[in-house]
Structure 1
C-alpha cells in the first residue's frame, strides 16, 4: 500500500482508509473497555501500528474520541431528521423530533454505555463535535418552527430566536448526553408531555 506523509490538511485515499481503520479499532476498544481505560498504546496494539504512527493521524486520544463522537452524533441526527421528514404537518414534525431525540438517546445509553461515556465526556468538555450536533438540531428546529408559522399552525408574534431557544431548552435534558442519564425515569412520557406543552405555547 502506497501512502504519503500524513498531514492535518489533505490526505490521500489510502491514508483515509488507515484513519478509518484506526477509528474502527478505537470504537471497538472504547465500546469494550471504556474511553477512560483505553490508551493510545492499546489502540496501537489493536490496529497493528506503532503508537508514533497513530499520532501521525491523530494528535491525541481525544482527537480519536472526537471522530467517534462525531460518527455517533451524526447517526442520532440522521434518525431525528428522518423522523421529522416522514411527519406531515409542522406540529407532527415537532412531536416526531421530541420522540426521535429521546428514543435515540435512550438507545445509546442502554445499548452501548461505553460509547455513551464518550458522548457524555464530549458534552462535559464541550468538544466541537457535540457543539456542531447541537447547532444542527437547533437549525432543524428553526426550520420546523418557520414552516409552522408559514402554514398558520404556529403563532408569529414572539421573536423566532426566542421561540427556538426556548424549545431547545425544553429539549435539552434529552439533547445533551450529559443530562440524559438524569432524565431516564421520564423518557416514556417525556416526548408526549413536552411536545404537548410546547405546541400549546405555539398555538396562534
Structure 2
C-alpha cells in the first residue's frame, strides 16, 4: 500500500521525493482509521507532524492524496491479474483467470478495510483519473488476450475487436467497480467461473 504509483496523479514536487511517500503512507493509515470523507488535510497535517502548507507542496488537494492511495490499490489488483495471466499460454485460460483474479483481488482490497473502501467508493463515484487509467489498462489487457485468441484460432474473428472487448468488459465490470461489487457480493464466489464460461462459448469460432 505504501508504494507510490507512476500514474499521472495531480502531485507536486519531485516525483520520487521520500516526503511524498511519507505523506501517502501516513494518509493511508489515517484514512483507514477515520475514513476518507471525515478526514481533512488539516487532520492529516496534525497526524503527520507537517504543516498543511507543506503538504500542499506535494499534493494540490485531499483528493490528490486519495488518488495516489487509490492508484496504489488498483496497481496491486492489476499486478495480481497480470501475474496470473502470464502463468498460462492458453488464451481461454487467460480469460478465465482475468475474471477470477480480478474479482478475488478486488474483494480482498476493497472489503478488507471498510474505511479505505470509502476512498474506492469516492474514486468510482467521481470517476477519478486513477480509476479512468485503471479501466483503460484493464480493457487493453482484455483486448490483448482476445487478439491472441484470434491469432491462435481459439476465438471467433467476425465481431470487431473493440466491440468484443467493450462487451466483455461490461460483463466483468460489476466485479471490478467497488460501487457495483458491493451489490454483487453474494454471487462473487460463482460468478467468475459462470460468466467466463458463458463468454468463452460466445467467443467460440
Q: When the two structures are superposed, what TM-score results if normalisation uses the length of structure 2?
A: 0.92
Stretch of structure 1 that moved more, 50-59 or 109-118: 109-118
Stretch of structure 1 that moved more, 138-147 or 29-38: 29-38
1:91 and 2:58 correspond: no
Alignment of 1:32-47 (within 5 A): 32-47=33-48
CA contact (8 A) 2:12 2:57 kept: no
Alignment of 1:94-173 (within 5 A): 94-173=95-174
Alignment of 1:54-65 (within 5 A): 54-65=55-66
Report the Cα distance in structure 1 between the residues aligned to 2:144 and 2:127, rounded to whole angstroms: 25
CA contact (8 A) 2:150 2:157 kept: yes
CA contact (8 A) 2:13 2:57 kept: no
* Aligned residue number for residue 5 of structure 2: none
Question: Which digits, 9 at most, give the CA deviation of each residue in 1:159-179, with x for residues without a partner?
Answer: 101100000000010121211
Structure with the higher helix share, 1 or 2 = 1
* Aligned residue number for residue 5 of structure 1: none
CA contact (8 A) 2:146 2:165 kept: yes
* Bigger radius of gyration: 1
Aligned structure 1 segments of 4 or more residues deviating by more than 4 angstroms: none
Shift in Å, 1:12? 7.3
Segments of 5+ residues of structure 1 without an aligned counterpart are: 1-7
SS in 1 for 2:127: coil
Stretch of structure 1 that moved more, 109-118 or 146-155: 109-118
Question: Which digits, 9 at most, give the CA deviation of each residue in 1:72-98, with x for residues without a partner?
Answer: 111111111111111230000000000
* Aligned residue number for residue 4 of structure 2: none
CA separation of 1:115/1:90 partners in 2, compared to 1, >3 Å: closer, same or farther?
same
* Aligned residue number for residue 190 of structure 1: 191
Segments of 5+ residues of structure 2 without an aligned counterpart are: 1-10
SS in 1 for 2:86: helix
CA separation of 1:33/1:146 partners in 2, compared to 1, >3 Å: closer, same or farther?
same
1:11 and 2:14 correspond: yes
CA contact (8 A) 1:76 1:101 kept: yes
CA contact (8 A) 1:101 1:175 kept: yes
Q: When the two structures are superposed, what TM-score results if normalisation uses the length of structure 1?
A: 0.92
SS in 2 for 1:119: helix
* Aligned residue number for residue 8 of structure 2: none
* Aligned residue number for residue 3 of structure 1: none
Question: Which digits, 9 at most, give the CA deviation of each residue in 1:6-46, with x for residues without a partner?
Answer: xx666275xx1001100000000011111011111111112
